Structure 1
Amino acid sequence: MKKIEIFTDGACSGNPGPGGYGVILRYKGNSKELWGGDPSTTNNRMELTAVITALSALKEPCEVELYSDSKYIIDAVTKGWAKKWRANNWVKSDKKKALNSDLWEKLLDLLEVHKVNFNWVKGHAGHPENERCDELAVMGSKKFSRS
């Protein structure tokens, strides 16, 4: 399996509001940037969209080191919450509906294809790739802003 590094971030101006995502894919020293946005979304949706976009860009099953500043994603995956939500028909342990189930479904499906190790990085703390992903995400949120 190819070993890939992925860095992701999401941003939103207002929550909900116009949002964007940024991704850096790195393989053998070569990098590719992806970004996009949505005119009406939330920060968590953009964080999820970044990870889904990154994993969807891989053309074959890969071993991935994924870096994100989203505790929402890191915890939901590494602590098994997202799988439990799906098993319980998208109802959380507190009996509330799990948000963003459409995106979680896509992500969980992708995690069955790729071997992904999730790594949390502190946002806005000078991590070069996280800072660049943030720039891409902000660019996406501005491009897709309705104003």
Structure 2
Amino acid sequence: MNNSLIKVYTDGGNRNTGNKPGQHVHERDLSAWAYIIEYEKKQYIASGFQFGATNNAMELMAVGSAFRKITKTEELKKQKIELISDSHYVLDPMEKGWLEKWMKTKKERPNFTMWQTLYPMYLE
């Protein structure tokens, strides 16, 4: 097994974040996500979009999509990952142990289904 580090860069967003009073993400608002996986001298790049998703949902979609790519790509499996993201919404639950607590308590929270999907890939 190679011990090279995989670097994963992710981002997600929506023009209308809903962070101000009275703002809401509307079903026609364009939302997007992207990732770049760097491993040795190779890059794997993907992006996508949907309408009406929140910024946080797109941040999770980027990470989940990158993790799925890693788990389905033989040379990437079982390698150590460094996740680079500007989203504390994504990073804090992983780095501070909140994600594991959330999965044990199964307390409903925003994007919980996405967190449930991400969790097994996070453990690998």
Aligned residues: 107
Give the structure-2-normalised TM-score.
Answer: 0.79
1:86 to 103, 106, 112: 103
Q: Taking every aligned residue pair, what percent have the same amino acid on both sides?
A: 30
1:8-19 → structure 2 map (5 Å cutoff): 8-15=10-17, 16=25, 17-19=29-31
Report the alpha carbon displacement of residue 49 of structure 1 after superposing the two structures with TM: 0.5
CA distance in 2, matches of 1:99, 1:6: 24
Distance 2:78 2:114 in 1: 20
> Shift of the alpha carbon at 1:29?
2.3
In structure 2, C-alpha distance between the alignment counterparts of 1:98 and 1:77, rounded to whole Å = 15
Per-residue CA deviation, residues 60-97 of structure 1 (Å, 9 max, x unaligned), is 2221111000011111111111221221122xxxxxx3
Q: Which runs of 5+ in 1 are unaligned?
A: 91-96, 114-147
Alignment partner for residue 121 of structure 2, among 100, 110, 121? 110
Structure 1: which 4+ aligned runs deviate by more than 6 Å?
Answer: none
Cα distance in 2 for partners of 1:112, 1:75 equals: 15
Could you say which residue in structure 2 is the equivalent of 1:69?
86
User: Root-mean-square deviation (CA), in Å?
Assistant: 1.4
